[in-house]
Amino acid sequence: MSKNMTKSMKIYCFLIRGRVQGVGYRAFVHQLAEKLQLSGRARNLADGRVEVLLQTSPDMIEDLCVELRRGPSFAKVLDVELSETNLTKLDNFQIS
């Protein structure tokens, strides 16, 4: 990856609401991140949402939102909330 590409990469937080726990949603995000060679993490939240952090370029956000809204076959995504974080670097992809 070029230095310019690395500089344009930011870490975004996606909060996914709906039937997204217990349906393979975090594994789905992990596969998506590996396919796109993105670092990040996915974790279940106590309120039933899934939090996804992805380090990506801003021009990929729209496509990522489409994929995150689609989710795995047993999920039913109702909403994807997006925000930019102050984090500067994530290594690999982690599921917690």
Crossing angle of the two packed helices 61-70 and 25-36, in degrees rounded to 10: 150
Give dist(CA 35, CA 59) in Å, integer: 17
Does 44 qualify as catalytic in the annotation?
yes
Does 26 qualify as catalytic in the annotation?
yes
Which residue out of 4, 17, 19, 26 is catalytically annotated?
Answer: 26
Which residue out of 17, 19, 44, 69 is catalytically annotated?
Answer: 44
Residues forming the active site = 26, 44
